A and B are shown apart, each in its own frame.
Chain A
């Protein structure tokens, strides 16, 4: 018996007249690595944005650990333990790597304007703890040496790792990774897979959207396949690879082309 961390029920999202998501159902198991795959425009990132509160959803239900996310703004979902990275990374420029990760600790520290302005002991104590924790997550991503460097000065691969470290610093129980492998070379992808496995070992549920099949098949224990806003299949890597619907969604056009 596995625990369901995230339950997606009948979620539909229209942009204009177009259904980006059409009645999607998914149950993401706690403590596992799951993946959402599908051709371009399948609605993968839209689903991510609905889960993390970038867009509101009106039709259907998404609940996390039994609590509905419908009315929660994005920042409250982070407090519940949902963290994410972005396809276009979105690091904070003009801030060091360490500061970027320290922002991730925002919800795990409390002190506000008043304590900060007067530098009360509470603020200093928390600041020290935040610094230590941020360093820990930076080291986890193998970026400890880069702590004082400007985040934007890192090469793409390390920027992606930094974004993961930043999301981890919010101490989530569910981590959503939006195309973490895009634009990385083989070595960087290996580092990334390694990091994702270590994250799973920390007991964090991982859900990723990814185009790179090698990466997905090597990592994911459960895979959802979306096509044109609908879920067309789910299962383990080997089940998915044999599923005729998946094959036609990905290869249908190409097979016809070869035949003609």
Chain B
């Protein structure tokens, strides 16, 4: 089953996936076919998280590869306390946060992915643009640029919870598990991040 990058993968649930467990055991013995299958299951979701954090396709590509390669090296330390999906996601997020910390002092390059065809036909988005954009001629592409610029102004921690919750659709509990904090912290960070975004995008977003 292929999940879209931003939808929560089934492996984040606490239900054990026996097929995935079998793949994990084989991968732990060095079976690259099995690990390849795991990579294909989780790469889209991991990539999306890193991409939305960095707003740069090349950086997201490098960080995603690094995360999966590092995970393979330390696969024997994976004891199954969480699902593999949560584990690899956490590795990728930690690497991304370290990367962003190092990048903070230099100008961040923005290299956004193109919007897919569905964006132009998404009724929600079409309605949103026509209702909320200050200039009717504003295109989706301009909106994308503004949105990403606003996201990049958030601190990494706040950007992360917005990415995980509002873009990737993860629950507060799942986010808390990945970040190793409590649900209350996730909620408060999300509230603060949304407030900031709302202020930064006030031209586009008016409270309903």
Are the chains A and B members of one assembly? no
* A residues adjacent to B (C-beta < 8 A): none
